[in-house]
Homo-oligomer: A and B are copies of this chain.
Amino acid sequence: MTNPTAAILVIGDEILSGRTRDSNLHYLAGELTRVGITLCEARIVADVHEKIVAAVRALSASHTHLFTSGGIGPTHDDITADAVAEAMSARVSHRPDAMALLQAHYDRAGLPFNEARQRMARIPDGATLIDNPVSTAPGFTLGNVHVMAGVPNIFQAMVASLLPRLVGGPPLLSQSLRVDRGEGEIAGPFGALAAEFPDLSMGSYPFLQNGAHGANLVIRGTDPARIDEAMLRLTRLFG
Residues of A within 8 A of B (CB): 12-22, 25-33, 39-47, 51, 73-77, 106, 111, 114-117, 119-120, 134-135, 150-151, 153-154, 172, 174, 182-188, 190-191, 194-195, 201-208, 213, 215, 218, 220
Contact = CB atoms under 8 A, between A and B. Distances in A.
B184 A117 contact: yes
Contacts of A206: 73, 150-151
A58 to B, nearest CB: 9
Contacts of A16: 29, 39-42
Chain copies in the assembled complex: 2
A208 B51 contact: no
A66 to B, nearest CB: 14
A184 B19 contact: no
B184 A114 contact: yes
Contact of A43 (B41, B182, B195): B41
Contacts of A188: 114-116
15 contacts: A12-B205, A14-B205, A17-B172, A17-B220, A18-B27, A40-B45, A41-B45, A74-B187, A75-B183, A75-B186, A75-B203, A76-B202, A114-B188, A135-B208, A154-B208
A160 to B, nearest CB: 16
A132 to B, nearest CB: 11
Contacts of A115: 188
Nearest to A48: B40
A77 B203 contact: yes
A201 to B, nearest CB: 7
Given A47-B203, A76-B191, A208-B153, A32 B13 contact: no
B51 A46 contact: no
A139 to B, nearest CB: 14
A9 B33 CA distance: 22
A74 B183 contact: yes
Contacts of A47: 203
Nearest to A191: B76
